[in-house]
Amino acid sequence: MWVNNRIALFFIVHTSNLALRTRNSQKRGIAIDCPGIHITHINTQIMKLLSWNIQWGRGMDGIVDFNRILNTIRTLDMFDVICLQEVAVNFPGLAGSQGEDQFALLSQGLPEYTGIYGIATDLPNAKGGRSYFGNAIFSRLPVGQVWRHLLPWAAEQTAPSMQRILIEAVVQSEIGSMRIMTTHLEYYSQQQREQQIAHIRRLHVEACAMTRRAQLNEEQNGPFEVHTRPADAILCGDMNFPATARERLQMLVPFDSGIPDFHDARTALFPDEPHIPTAGIHPVDFVDKPECFDHIFITSGLINHLKAHRVDITTTASDHQPVWIELF
């Protein structure tokens, strides 16, 4: 079901109502009437979270263009939280890049957001400076404590790999406080992806344990101060595995001792439908066919708030497609 380059389909769920949106290259997000489909108005209290691997701003035309990235985000919707993977700083070795500070460009283009940068790769460069590569979270919601977790990086003799990171940030929404986590798992090695998923799951257990822990007198004011670390969480990013992979099942294994489980947001809304591809819709060299590599997982406490899961299948501003959810 691929549409032409003028029309894109968006799948929107509002409880039992299904709305179908269409947009063209000049007008995006225009609702249309369809037989048997009820179109609902957008609730201003919706929390909207976007996840997108922006490939350091490089589009399918090979050009690095952050105005295009920012315009694409703004045109899709007004998001409360934006999670981006593959954000580079001073990395001219990346194809099409001039070594620009991409986190600064994004921050300038999103002045109403709090920006959080998580550096996975930190290397010296030929000019005597440092080159950074990682992920970022931008939030219009109040941000509490932030963690930057380096993920396991096992040595493998035959598989190329790089350091990966998970950013975790607490935000306060109308629904309540929750942890936002974004990551970009290893591409070349399934073994490393599985180790990274296991580590993320351990971090989730650790966070939930902190939720139940009482603050001590010594943890007042200063670096020992303990802030809210809620059990509810959203985990998103370029997971580098298709929806049929065993890594996805590993992520969804139930926890013990009352720890809230992870649920696939797409499957929670569309249990009998396949995932919409987020990579390979436009020709790329890292998949043989269109696949869903970009996933959003939510914990059990957010399931009843989940109302929509969408993918923009038309943009060519990156080699991945933006994916987002809405919660009421």
pTM: 0.87
Cα-based angle 208, 211, 213 (whole degrees, multiple of 5): 115
Do the Cβ atoms of 302 and 175 come closer than 8 Å? yes
Candidate from 59-68, 71-80, 164-173, 205-214 with smallest mean pLDDT: 205-214
Alpha helices in 7-160 (DSSP H): 66-76, 102-109
pLDDT per residue over 295-316, tens digit each?
Answer: 999 999 999 999 999 999 999 9
- Starting from the edge strand earliest in sequence, which strands make up the sheet with 130-139, in order? 114-124, 130-139, 81-89, 47-53, 323-327, 306-311
- pLDDT at residue 32 in the model: 26
Q: Cβ-count burial of 242 within 10 angstroms (0-12 exposed, 13-18 middle, 19+ buried)?
A: buried
Per-residue confidence band for 77, with pLDDT thresholds at 50, 70 and 90 = very high
* Domains identified in the chain and CATH numbers: 8-213+225-327 (3.60.10.10)
